[in-house]
């Protein structure tokens, strides 16, 4: 299980397609702590480590295998060498739980529909449509990687919009949690076949959200608690 608190971004170092799936190599700074068989979230998709190479500092790369089913449910069939991916190791039993329950089971692939910087001047390199007026709580709606430093008034938050597949819409609610490329975010606003989130500067800088453009794909994982509630109450409706 994961929490949606991204540890770092890694880089795809190798891609090898085969008849049964795809092997991917990814760089990371914690490779000396990885072992064969461990689970790692790769931009929200839970994959198993099959090989590791690391130097004394921990830097290195690890190898993963994507089955045909994984490739069908994710956009990992389109990743190329040099692409950045969000990385999170599985939560240890004594670890802090700072995000929400994330299984690493991608429910669907959505698209970025808008990107806007708010409260900190014009966006740099971002494109998209305006999300309209902000509420006072926009800046704290998204919780991803935390920051230990103080934020300046000029930092500015970001508003991201994503498409919402119809089959996932019942599980997404305002102020509820959603996993986007493995990042635990809070839904700010629901729209027709779409939703928005507010992203704090630390989350923006420490994840692949800073590299996204309108039209790019993202992995979505809806709250598993909502799916369990639906299953348990199905016979009462």
Domain contains 197: yes
Asked if residue 65 and residue 124 are part of one domain, the reply reads no
CB-based contacts of 19: which residues, under 8 Å, 6+ apart? none
Distance, CA of 81 to CA of 27 (rounded, Å): 11
Distance, CA of 32 to CA of 60 (rounded, Å): 8
- Give the pLDDT score at 144: 40
- Give the pLDDT score at 133: 38
Asked if residue 25 and residue 124 are part of one domain, the reply reads no
- What pTM did the predictor assign? 0.83
Domain contains 17: yes
Distance, CA of 158 to CA of 201 (rounded, Å): 7
* Count of all residues that appear for the chain in the document: 237
CA atoms in the 13 A half-sphere facing the CB of 150: 2
Q: Is beta strand 108-118 parallel, antiparallel or unpaired with respect to 157-163?
A: antiparallel
Q: Quote the mean pLDDT of the chain.
A: 86
One DSSP character per residue, 12-35 reads EEEEEEETTEEEEEEEES-GGG--
- CATH number, domain at 114? 2.40.30.20
Helix (H, G, I), strand (E, B) or coil at 152: coil
pLDDT at 122 over 60: no
Domain that holds residue 40: 8-89
CB-based contacts of 172: which residues, under 8 Å, 6+ apart? 164, 178, 187, 190, 195, 222
Asked if residue 137 and residue 45 are part of one domain, the reply reads no
Among 129-133, 150-154, 191-195, the minimum mean pLDDT is found in 129-133
Asked if residue 114 and residue 71 are part of one domain, the reply reads no
Asked if residue 58 and residue 129 are part of one domain, the reply reads no
**150, two tokens:** 């103080």
Asked if residue 159 and residue 214 are part of one domain, the reply reads yes
Distance, CA of 59 to CA of 37 (rounded, Å): 19
- Tally the domains of the chain: 2
Categorize the per-residue pLDDT at 125 as very low, low, confident or very high, splitting at 50, 70 and 90: very low
pLDDT tens digits, one per residue of 157-184: 999 999 999 999 999 999 999 999 999 9
pLDDT, mean of residues 66-91: 97
Domain final residue, candidates 26, 61, 89: 89
Would you say 177 and 227 are in contact if contact means Cβ atoms under 8 Å apart? no
Asked if residue 83 and residue 132 are part of one domain, the reply reads no
CA distances (Å), 14 to each of 65, 74, 83, in order? 12, 18, 10
């Amino acid at each position: 299980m994961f929490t949606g608190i991204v540890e770092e971004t890694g880089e795809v170092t190798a891609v090898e397609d085969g008849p049964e799936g795809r092997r991917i190599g990814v760089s990371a700074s914690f490779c000396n702590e990885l072992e064969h068989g461990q689970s790692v979230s790769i931009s929200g998709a839970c994959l198993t480590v099959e090989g590791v190479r690391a130097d004394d500092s921990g830097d290195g790369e690890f190898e993963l295998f994507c089955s045909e089913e994984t490739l069908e449910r994710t956009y990992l069939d389109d990743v190329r060498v040099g692409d950045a991916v969000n990385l999170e190791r599985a939560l240890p039993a004594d670890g802090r739980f700072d995000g929400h329950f994330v299984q690493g089971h991608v429910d669907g692939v959505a698209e970025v529909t808008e990107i806007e910087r708010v409260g900190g001047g014009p966006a740099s390199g971002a494109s998209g449509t305006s999300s309209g007026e902000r509420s006072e709580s926009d800046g704290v709606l998204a919780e991803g990687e935390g920051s230990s430093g103080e934020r300046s008034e000029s930092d500015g938050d970001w508003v991201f919009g994503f498409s919402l597949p119809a089959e996932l819409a019942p599980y997404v609610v305002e102020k509820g949690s959603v996993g986007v490329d493995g990042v635990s975010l809070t839904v700010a606003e629901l729209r027709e076949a779409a939703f928005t989130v507010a992203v704090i500067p630390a989350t923006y800088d420490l994840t692949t959200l800073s590299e996204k453009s309108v039209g790019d794909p993202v992995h979505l994982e809806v709250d598993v608690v909502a799916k369990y509630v639906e299953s348990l109450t199905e016979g009462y409706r």
